[in-house]
Chain A
Amino acid sequence: MSDLETSQQDNQILVIFRKAPAGSAWAREALDLALVGAAFGQKVSLLFMGDGVFQLLEQQNPKLIGQKGTQAMMQALPMYEIDNLYVEGHSLVERGLDLEQLAVNCQVLNADEMPKLLQQHQQVFNF
């Protein structure tokens, strides 16, 4: 993973998404924090792992249960210059998901790359 190797300590904020999307406000409020971080001029990266990978699924329809969902915000990430999106391979495999089922382009991280990603960020917000 070339950009994991080369960007030591350049990245300031990592937001980790570990909770499933609809059952709680975590996905939305974690994403809010990521956007505010970027608006503050910080370099923000996102990591999806655990049940957080379900936030990435395409064909979600949160309106059915009276929710706004995070899909529109996810599509706006490039406008905030948030383009380092990572997903843990282990979590995908565990849930039987592959990249084609995800609505957003993410880089898949293997077991060795996970600790590296955390270490290269000065601040980790873990939701």
Chain B
Amino acid sequence: MNYSIAIYGGPYGHQASHSAYHFAQAVLAKGHHIQRVFFYHDGVYNASALVSPPQDEVNLPQQWQQLANTHQFELTVCIAAAVRRGVLDANEARRYQKPAANLAEGYQLSGLGQLIDASLESDRLISFGP
């Protein structure tokens, strides 16, 4: 089956992204395919390249990158929610004349339509909230 996952909670303050990550691993272990992980609401903080936990704690933004890279699925971040919360790619940083961009590698900013698209194109869409 083809899965998509929506994440609405940040990487450290809530369990949502952790739960989603464990779920994603279990989905892949069962031979299913993941189409897209979509980050919305405070979930967009998962896409910050500046997340810097101590070495003995999980770095979720990085773990998502690695899992997505290995299994070739999209990490899509709602652009409107991200820009409001200070998660910007190079284009947005230029547009808003900000001194730096901080969207982590492997993530892409896109419209909320990608979440609707995931709900239509995937066999299953599951959400994890804070």
Judged by CB atoms under 8 Å, the answer to whether A and B touch is yes
In the complex, which residues of chain A have a beta carbon less than 8 angstroms from the beta carbon of B120?
40, 42
Segment of A2-10, A29-37, A77-85, A100-108 in the binding face: A29-37
Is A123 within 8 A of B125, CB to CB? Answer: yes
Cβ of A109 within 8 Å of any chain B Cβ, yes or no, is: no
- Secondary structure at chain B's binding surface: helix, strand, loop or mixed? helix
- A127–B40 alpha-carbon span in the complex (Å): 12
Determine the distance from Cα of A32 to Cα of B119 in the docked complex, in whole angstroms: 16
- Structural contact, A33 and B81, CB atoms closer than 8 A: no
Q: Is there contact, CB below 8 Å, between B119 and A13?
A: yes
Bitwise, B98-130 to A at CB < 8 A (1) or not (0) is 000000000000011101110110000101010
Contacts of B83 in A (CB 8 A): none
Number of interface residues of A (CB under 8 A): 15
Type the 1/0 row for A103-127, where 1 means its CB is closer than 8 Å to any CB of B: 0000000000000000000010111
How many residues of B are counted as interface, with CB atoms below 8 angstroms from the partner's CB atoms?
16
Name the one of A26, A29, A36, A127 contacting B116, with C-beta atoms under 8 angstroms. Answer: A36
Cβ contact within 8 Å between B112 and A32: yes
- Known contacts A29-B81, A32-B80, A126-B127, A40 near B41 by CB under 8 Å: no
Residue positions of A touching B, CB distance < 8 A: 13, 25-26, 29, 32-33, 36-37, 39-40, 42, 123, 125-127
